[in-house]
Amino acid sequence: MKIYGPYKRNQDGRWYLSVKHLSGKSSTISYPKYLMEQKIGRPLHDDETVDHIDRNVDNNSPSNLKIICRAIHSKEDALYLIPMTFICPWCGGTFTKDGSKLGDVINNRRKNKCGPFCSRRCAGKYGAYVGHNKIERIEIDIKQFELQHTRKYYQKPKPV
Q: Where are the domains of the chain?
A: 2-76, 80-149
Kindly report, residue by residue over 88-124, the tens digit of the pLDDT: 888 989 888 876 677 777 777 777 778 888 999 999 9
**Secondary-structure class of domain 2-76 per CATH:** alpha beta
Kindly report, residue by residue over 35-86, the tens digit of the pLDDT: 999 999 999 999 999 998 887 888 999 999 999 998 888 777 666 667 778 8
Compute CA 98 distance to the chain's CA centroid, rounded to the nearest angstrom: 14
Distance from C-alpha of 110 to C-alpha of 103, rounded to nearest angstrom: 11
Distance from C-alpha of 65 to C-alpha of 62, rounded to nearest angstrom: 5
Q: What is the pTM of this model?
A: 0.54
Q: Which tops the pLDDT comparison, 63 or 139?
A: 63
Kindly report, residue by residue over 9-19, the tens digit of the pLDDT: 887 788 999 99
Mean pLDDT estimate for the chain: 81
